[in-house]
Structure 1
């Protein structure tokens, strides 16, 4: 079942981050109560950092059993494991290590220290998904770029057409670092709930286009494509919602 996207508008980025973090903790706890080990797909960027900080602040209440959560990433920069550009490193510093998520439940994309190429990293991550993530995702969180990209699926790139592979390498990213690894649209479509986290007026036009799919194409606005199987929610601050 898929439905029309829901839109939540918050006063500012801080309020947005608090709302998303609170809702995420509720969803994880509900899934655990239902007997599932929820798989959550994390994103990167400044609003994700703010959400992660709020998860760290709110996540010690005992509501969530952090030993029964699996973490994945929608995309990753193909750089060294210690690089500040790694989405996984940002999330580890913000909340993963502090809350004690077991290492075997933290599914990072291989770094350039681990494998020789982004293609090999994509193949390994796809194999890990097939082994440990076959049941899909409880919550998938996505940022949106001013150009309308999601994960590392950029307007006009060939990877938008991929229907067979779960994970692909991306080169010549318009936003550095240039080499990346990303989930493809079919894989992004395996989430029960898909949440877009968007802050700032610079992204307002992309938000408006993504929420009016009749006026754009996936090649122009990749953010218009992903939908949750049960729910799709756009969490926006007022500047990001200003063109709706």
Structure 2
């Protein structure tokens, strides 16, 4: 696993613009070398602000978006189109504005999906979709080119919360999460092994409320207590922060 690198931006707006520029550049680079690229999206204010900045960038058309696979790190187990779903936010911020291939947009299905109210079955379905795209890799997920993560004030990533069983999952790549301390209580999440299979993991954080979580992640805290500490990419791990989110780090 790679050692984290910290990049600090003056404020949240410039952070979003910086993440957008970095994502566009990375996808252009990957698509110049291979037929397809893959990115894992995150929700939250910083993640969606970055996607909106991609949509607003004149450079966005440098990416052949029809060759990009979009996945999610987690999802609230709510019906399609619900405004609280990460998918809904991503579509409004970016996906509806670019020429994506619908078959390459891999959503985590909610209770209106084929598995109904069974979040565990929906998570297993997502794990099977990941495995089908994994080309025999272990763990059975694609080699994500970029996996973006927000981080909560409690140091959670995706829907992996401190002290919950899902943080310790070592076999499965996607799980149902029940009893989330943050509403809604039922979610679907990638697991730590799936996250750590990515080539690059980007932890994106803005605001003073995230400063302690960022510090814990970089200090090598116990992932059971600070799941963000488990966020590492194979080739690169980037903490993309604004000044407030970086305020608890050594100068």
* TM-score bracket relative to the smaller structure: over 0.9
Give the counterpart of 2:236 among 226, 231, 238. Answer: 231
Q: Matches of 2:35 and 2:197 in 1, distance apart?
A: 16
Q: Matches of 2:192 and 2:60 in 1, distance apart?
A: 35
TM alignment of 1:93-108, pairs within 5 A: 93-108=92-107
1:226 CA displacement = 1.6
Q: C-alpha deviations, 1:198-235, integer Å up to 9, x for none? A: 0110110111111101xx31111000012110000000
1:160 CA displacement = 1.2
Q: Matches of 2:197 and 2:36 in 1, distance apart?
A: 15
1:139 aligns with 2:146: yes
Q: Matches of 2:183 and 2:102 in 1, distance apart?
A: 28
Give the counterpart of 1:203 among 174, 185, 210. Answer: 210
Q: Matches of 1:52 and 1:148 in 2, distance apart?
A: 22
TM alignment of 1:135-214, pairs within 5 A: 135-213=142-220
**Counterpart for residue 64 of structure 1:** 63
Tell me if the contact between 1:204 and 1:239 (Cα under 8 Å) persists in the aligned partners. yes
Q: Secondary structure of the equivalent of 1:48?
A: helix
Q: Matches of 1:174 and 1:59 in 2, distance apart?
A: 39
Q: Matches of 1:98 and 1:160 in 2, distance apart?
A: 34
Give the structure-2-normalised TM-score: 0.93
Give the structure-1-normalised TM-score: 0.96
Q: C-alpha deviations, 1:94-129, integer Å up to 9, x for none? A: 111210111000000011101221111101101110
1:124 aligns with 2:109: no
1:158 CA displacement = 0.8
Q: Secondary structure of the equivalent of 2:112?
A: coil
1:36 CA displacement = 3.9
TM alignment of 1:213-228, pairs within 5 A: 213=220, 216-228=221-233
1:59 CA displacement = 5.8
Unaligned segments of structure 2, at least 5 residues = 135-140
